[in-house]
């Protein structure tokens, strides 16, 4: 699947990474992008994303609901026009994670689901390059001061990936269950980790 941005889904960030390609970030289209996101999220390797077993329409509904929110946003990340990752950002004070740590002004939460191996020409250095672009977006384009991530404690690969990228491990916490008419999220044992803007982009 190769898509060009439209007026309704224009890039919010675009960056050329030497030796990697042009990486663009655009708002997720809940319907048009549901097929690719459903394929990624339904794989066993993506079990920690929490969408295993959902239908394509259910995935589309989740992101259609997210699109109505001012505090949570979903984006598709593309490398040379090929989808390579799903990015979600959120305001920590409007999320259950706020019950587990002291939110600072300028904090932003991030979730990142990578495309499966082999997609878009994936190769060594892939994850680091994408994380670099994502942090550039949230720190420089959105002008935030600190990123917080909350991978499942069992997701050792994700935790190691963030630490290699310069994140500092925070506490292990229990994110409480969310049970609302429009959304259900089970409790999660999570490893918090933080990345300060000054670490990612030293003055």
Report domain extents, the chain: 13-200
- pLDDT at 13 (0 to 100): 96
Question: Rounded to whole angstroms, how far apart are CA atoms 148 and 79?
Answer: 24
- Strand segments, DSSP code E, in the chain are 13-17, 21-27, 72-79, 82-90, 107-114, 146-149, 168-175, 178-180, 183-185, 188-196
Residue carrying structure tokens 């689901």: 113
Question: Rounded to whole angstroms, how far apart are CA atoms 93 and 76?
Answer: 24
- pLDDT at 121 (0 to 100): 52
- Helix or strand or coil: residue 168? strand
Phi and psi for 83 in degrees, rounded to 5? -65, 130
- Helix or strand or coil: residue 38? helix
Q: Do 32 and 76 touch, CB atoms closer than 8 A?
A: no
Q: Do 109 and 97 touch, CB atoms closer than 8 A?
A: yes
Question: Rounded to whole angstroms, how far apart are CA atoms 165 and 161?
Answer: 6
Kindly give the confidence (pLDDT) of every residue in the chain, 203 residues in length, as a single tens digit, with 9 standing for 90 and above. Answer: 444 444 457 899 999 999 889 999 999 999 999 999 999 999 988 888 888 889 999 999 999 999 999 999 999 999 998 999 999 999 999 999 999 999 999 999 999 999 987 655 555 678 899 999 999 999 999 999 999 999 999 999 999 999 999 999 999 999 988 766 666 677 899 999 999 999 999 97
- pLDDT at 182 (0 to 100): 67
- pLDDT at 7 (0 to 100): 40
Question: Rounded to whole angstroms, how far apart are CA atoms 100 and 20?
Answer: 37
Question: Rounded to whole angstroms, how far apart are CA atoms 184 and 189?
Answer: 16
- pLDDT at 16 (0 to 100): 94
Question: Count of residues for the chain?
Answer: 203
In this structure, what token pair is assigned to residue 145? 């001061």
Closest Cα to residue 38, out of 57, 21, 25, 22?
57
Residue carrying structure tokens 């339904």: 42
- pLDDT at 185 (0 to 100): 75
CATH, domain range 13-200: 3.40.630.30
């Amino acid at each position: 699947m190769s898509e060009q941005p439209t007026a309704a889904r224009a890039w919010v960030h675009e960056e050329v990474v030497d030796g990697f390609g042009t990486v663009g970030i655009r708002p997720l289209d809940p319907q048009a992008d549901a097929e690719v996101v459903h394929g990624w999220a339904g794989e066993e390797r993506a079990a920690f994303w929490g969408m295993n077993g959902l239908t394509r329409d259910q995935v589309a509904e989740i992101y259609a609901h997210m699109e109505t929110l001012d505090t949570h946003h979903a984006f598709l990340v593309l490398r040379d026009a090929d989808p390579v990752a799903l990015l979600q950002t959120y305001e920590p004070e409007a999320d259950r994670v706020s019950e587990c740590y002291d939110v600072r002004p300028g904090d932003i939460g991030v979730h990142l689901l990578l495309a499966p191996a082999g997609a878009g020409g994936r190769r060594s250095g892939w994850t680091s390059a994408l994380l670099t672009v994502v942090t550039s977006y949230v720190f420089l384009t959105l002008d935030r001061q600190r990123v917080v991530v909350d991978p499942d404690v069992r997701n050792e690969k994700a935790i190691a990936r963030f630490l290699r990228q310069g994140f500092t491990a925070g506490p292990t916490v229990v994110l409480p269950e969310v049970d609302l008419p429009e959304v259900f999220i089970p409790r999660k044992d999570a490893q918090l980790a933080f990345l300060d803007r000054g670490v990612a982009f030293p003055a």
